[in-house]
Each structure stands twice: as structure tokens, then as C-alpha cells.
Amino acid sequence: MRKRVIYTPKGRAREYSSLALNIINGCDMGCDYCYVPRITKKKKEFFHTNSVHRKDLIKKLERDLQELKEEGNTSLIMLSFTSDVYQLDESFNSITRDVLKLFRKYNQPFHILTKGGLKAIRDFDMYSDKDWFATSLTLFDEKRSKKLEPNAATPLERLEALETAHKRGIKTWVSFEPTIDEEETFKLYELSKDFVNFYKVGKISGYPSKVNWDKFANSIAERMEMDKKPFFIKYDLRKHLKKDVSEYKYHKEVEWQKKTYLPSWGLVVLR
């Protein structure tokens, strides 16, 4: 059977999406905590300096989208897990728009998770009311962010991209993962909550951390509940909650989990 470029993520990645597409191999954002070199068994230095286009991506993607259409599969597709669709090297970025044009042609919903900040705005005209724009918010302190995520957009630029998306009527979500410093996360939450529809909160994996997970898990869940802000606590962090997540009214399991990961949980339509 032909291998699709749209694939079903495994393990913890499934908490983000039931289907995903990686446009580029390698990623020049250079995040020190990046998990991809570890899972792809590549040297960090190599992974961050050798981004390449995937061969015949557009041709293969069109076949996949055609097949999904024939199957009636309208799942959200995440772009992307093992790279960022907005690279520092601009020569990679026109492919992102070509990919989104195909999503529009087949009316297949997508969500983009990026640290590219303002670069993402150029493609906002490609979003329909079913698509989502998302950003990872890690640190508010620009110097610390620059040190850990040297080529990513600054925290303020990421916030601005979210706010712009929201003003244009695009649904937005934020990944609070990796969590590096809980105070910084709370600061970013306060700064973003007026223009973010949904938060996903997790830990940090395979990287040193001083975060008190018990304290963080409970306080972030309580804060979002108090603000009536829809949120999702990832499974590794959920273990630190004193209450069962079902006791939080605003803790939401979303459509892609209902369909492929937690079939017994109810469908939630986020507004």
C-alpha cells in the first residue's frame, strides 16, 4: 500500500491531532529542548542546520487529500510535528502556502502550530472557519527565549500573530508545552487570554526542569476554570491534578481525540 504523507501520529502526539503532515525535514528554529532529533535519531546540530523539502510533497499530498475526500474524512490535520512550517530560511516557506492552497481546494480543515510569529500572517487569508491557528508560548522573557529558541519569533511577535488571527476571525489555540518556568507561563496566559480560544497544557520531556508540577498543574487548571477558558491538560501533567479532570467544566476533550484517541468521550464544539 502507498504510504501517505498525511499520517496518524503516535503516542503523546495524538493528544494534539489525529492526523498530521510534515512539510519539511529538519528545522532551523534551533530550539535547545527540541525532541525531534531524539525521536528521529539525528544529531541536534545536523537537524537544526539541514532542513530539506520533502520529495514530491505536493503531488503526494494531493493524492492523500483526494483519498480523504472520497473516504469522507474531514478530520483536522496538524502542520506540523517534526518541523515548523515557517522556517528562518525563507526559501522553505513558499511551500507552506502551496500546501494550504491544496487544503482549500479539498476543503480539508487544518491547524497550524508554529513559532514563526508574524510570518504566519501572510497565509491568514487561506483559513476557513474550520481551521485553527496555534502558537507555542514558552517564555515571556525575550533573552531567555532567544537563548533556548534562537531562531523562533520573539514572545511578543507570537502574541501579536495570535491577536491578529483572532481579529480576523480565525480560531486560535496555544500550546503551553514545553513548560519551562511556571511564572512565565502564567504571564503569557494573562497576556493572551483575550484572543485565545483554547489552551493545551503539558510538561517538558527529556529536558531539565525545576517546575513544581503538582503546584503548576492545579493552579493553571484552577485559573482557566475561573476564567471560563476552555483548556486541555495533557496526560503526563494530568497525573498531578488533585481533582479528576471531569470535575473541571472548562476542561475540554476535542473532536480529534473523540474520533481517534478517546472514543468514549463526548464531542465538544469549541466556540
Looking at the Cβ atoms of 34 and 241, the one nearer to ligand SF4 is: 34
Q: Pick from 14, 111, 115, 171 the residue near ligand SF4 by CB under 6 A.
A: 115
HSE, side-chain direction, 13 A CA sphere, residue 76: 27
Q: Identify the H or E element spanning 231.
A: strand 231-233
The answer to the question of residue 29 lying near ligand SF4 (CB under 6 A) is yes
What are 53's strand-pairing partners? 24
- The C-alpha cell at 62 is 494531493
Q: Residues touching ligand SF4: how many (CB under 6 A)?
A: 9
Report d(CA 88, CA 150) in Å as an integer.
Answer: 10
Nearest distance from C-beta of residue 261 to ligand SF4, angstroms = 21
Report d(CA 179, CA 230) in Å as an integer.
Answer: 18
Contact region for ligand SF4 (CB under 6 A) — 1-9, 25-33, 58-66, 210-218? 25-33
Looking at the Cβ atoms of 188 and 224, the one nearer to ligand SF4 is: 188
Looking at the Cβ atoms of 30 and 109, the one nearer to ligand SF4 is: 30
| DSSP classification of residue 154 | P
Residue 219 sits at φ, ψ, to 5 deg, of -75, -35
The answer to the question of residue 31 lying near ligand SF4 (CB under 6 A) is yes
Contacts of 197 (CB under 8 A, 6+ apart): 132, 166, 171, 172, 173, 230, 270, 271
Report d(CA 245, CA 238) in Å as an integer.
Answer: 7
Contact region for ligand SF4 (CB under 6 A) — 31-39, 49-57, 65-73, 139-147? 31-39
Q: Pick from 84, 123, 131, 182 the residue near ligand SF4 by CB under 6 A.
A: 84
Looking at the Cβ atoms of 29 and 224, the one nearer to ligand SF4 is: 29
**Closest-CA residue to 119 (of 86, 152, 146):** 86
Nearest distance from C-beta of residue 25 to ligand SF4, angstroms = 11
Nearest distance from C-beta of residue 210 to ligand SF4, angstroms = 20
- The C-alpha cell at 111 is 491547524
The answer to the question of residue 27 lying near ligand SF4 (CB under 6 A) is yes
Report d(CA 200, CA 202) in Å as an integer.
Answer: 7
The answer to the question of residue 200 lying near ligand SF4 (CB under 6 A) is no
The answer to the question of residue 221 lying near ligand SF4 (CB under 6 A) is no
* Chain contacts with ligand SF4 (rule: CB under 6 A): 27, 29-31, 34, 36, 83-84, 115
